[in-house]
A and B are shown apart, each in its own frame.
Chain A
Amino acid sequence: MIRVERLSREYGSVKAVDRLDFEIGRGEIVGFLGPNGAGKTTTMRMLTTYLPPSSGRANLAGHDVLDEPLEVRRKVGYLPENVPLYPEMRVREFLDFRAKLKDVPRSRRQAAVDGVIEQCKLKEVEDRIVGNLSKGFRQRVGLAEAMVHDPDILILDEPTAGLDPIQVREVRSLIKMLGSKHTVLLSTHIMPEVEAVCGRVIVIVHGRIALDEDLQKLKLENSIEIEIRGSAEGARKSLASAQGVTKVQELRRDGDSTTFEVQTRDGADMREFLAKRVQESGFGLRRLDRRRSTLEDRFVEAVRAATLSQAKESAEGDAKRR
């Protein structure tokens, strides 16, 4: 559905987006993460044809952003970051206007507008003036606007920013539902949101991809944290020799107790087995916990690694220039 090849965008000498490569299939919900200024909005603007790329290609629903921008726009629904709307229009009037502009045929227009009003729960405000609506409603009007022409692809720039927890939950479930029919690319800063909604995550740092992974796979990377009293060396041996354990790592030592991180094959949950083994070997078991490698950890890790490697690269570049 979305295919991006070596997509780059420069602002003067600043590389906002630097040779991005990724592919998103039909029906995927992809979380687009990155620290502020990483190039998320710029990438989204290039995908929606608002900004032309400096180099590289982007193909959405079979159309190139540079060769057939109008076709791309017909296939893409876009919710920009701060949800720009016309404050003087009424909700239904605005959606109707946007539907006309997006070439929704007259015979289907009424149904399309009714549909998104229903989906985004805007019935109670459909005759109110957009400028007088609360932030939550405005966000939903923006979302309704993005999907009024039933696009194949939805590109949402921070769709839950500024909403209260209940509205966040509603918008998330709406996006999840949309994922069954549409391909969704959404940017956010909220990690639990990605875990709750997305099937895949792409992290970009300084305009480059730092991590592109299935969330399902990320979830498998679980480990067990275990705190044992007694000889650290002995305990480690005892844990490492257990069947199914792939790696034992000492995390910290506190007096006569030591905390280990134990990784198991395929992320299997071996807590009972390990507890039994520790006790049978004569050690004291003080704590046993399943440790999730959270998305947040992976995010921070990826950002750090990317920043380091890029700093190294630029240092090398400087050295070469000298």
Chain B
Amino acid sequence: MRHVFILFKRELGAYFLGPMAYLILVCFQVIAWLNFWMLVDMMSDPTALTALSGTSDPLNRYISESMGFWIAMLVAIPALTMRLFAEERRSGTIETVLTSPVTETEIVLAKWLAAVVMYLSLLAPFYLYLPFLVYFGKYSLDYGPIVSLSLTLVTAGMMFTAIGVFFSSTTKNQIVAAIATFVTLFVLIVMLGMAHEQALAARREELAEALRYLSVLYQLHWSAAGRLDLRFLALHLSVATIALYLTSKQLRFGRDV
């Protein structure tokens, strides 16, 4: 496992040697700033504040129900993960990596960790603004929901990036990897929620309930309200593990000839 760190450093370095990482980081910074502005705007309006009850709490408005955040995430994750294996397969460097004394698992873990770190750095701007609420707004933060939302966001990100890593390992073409990742994430984040609404309208309660639990949007919504459900974390981590396992199998048996 000692190679993981060496490979991880190179992978992270490769992100910052191209323009992509900077563009995405700036984009998320702008979204965080806009959302923060709207949050402050809303909280300083006493009539709006009374409407903030139950599910529409400030943290949900700030991150997990923000349209801008999800649209950017749906684009950013495929953009960050598509390169990881597809590029190496296209240029043939995968052959030199796989003929070094390194196991497939080490390679997969290193690349995935680099993507996870990139994902976390996208979330960072949102946390950057919170201290301002405390020190300048004299607003007393409730730390429980922040912690539970953060945990769920982290594990959800681990799942998203693992899915991206897997699709990147299946093709030489980065665009194909990006689109496959985008579609899968779109289903997980958006479609399942919509399917839940449909099932509800059709009065299929059990199905609606199942779909609701699978929808990432709902899971984050739930966590942002301060209810930490470990089943969600287990689900995210299981999917991530399976995706990474499949990636290492793909690396071993799906070699280009």
**A residues in contact (CB < 8 Å) with B:** 11, 42, 45, 48-51, 70-71, 73-74, 76, 78, 80, 82, 84-89, 97-98, 100-103, 145
Contacts and interface: CB of A to CB of B under 8 A. Distances in A.
Interface string B90-111: 0111111111111100000000
Contact of B10 (A76, A87, A97): A97
A158 to B, nearest CB: 13
B101 A102 contact: yes
A145 B101 contact: no
A98 B10 CA distance: 10
Range class of the B interface residue count: 20 to 34
Given A80-B96, A97-B10, 18 more contacts: A48-B99, A49-B98, A70-B101, A71-B101, A73-B99, A73-B100, A76-B99, A80-B95, A84-B91, A84-B92, A86-B10, A88-B17, A88-B18, A89-B17, A98-B100, A101-B3, A101-B101, A102-B101
Sorted nearest first, the 5 A-B pairs with minimum C-beta distance are A84-B92, A84-B93, A88-B17, A73-B101, A48-B99
Contacts of B103: 70
Contacts of B102: 70, 73, 101
Contacts of B3: 101
A220 B3 CA distance: 51
B6 interface: yes
Contacts of A76: 99
Interface string B59-100: 000000000000000000000000000000001111111111
B100 A101 contact: yes
Nearest to A71: B101
A106 to B, nearest CB: 12
A269 to B, nearest CB: 47
Given A11-B257, A51-B257, A84 B100 contact: no
A102 B257 contact: no
A85 B93 contact: yes
16 contacts: A11-B257, A45-B257, A49-B99, A51-B257, A70-B103, A78-B95, A78-B99, A84-B94, A84-B95, A88-B17, A97-B6, A98-B96, A101-B7, A101-B101, A102-B101, A103-B101
Given A88-B17, A102-B101, A103-B101, A78 B6 contact: no
A50 B99 CA distance: 6
A88 B20 CA distance: 14
B255 interface: yes
A159 to B, nearest CB: 14
A74 B99 CA distance: 9
A315 to B, nearest CB: 28
A78 B257 contact: no
Contact of B100 (A51, A80, A86, A102): A102
B14 interface: yes
Contacts of A101: 3, 6-7, 97, 100-102
Interface in B204-252: none
Contacts of A85: 93
A45 B257 CA distance: 9
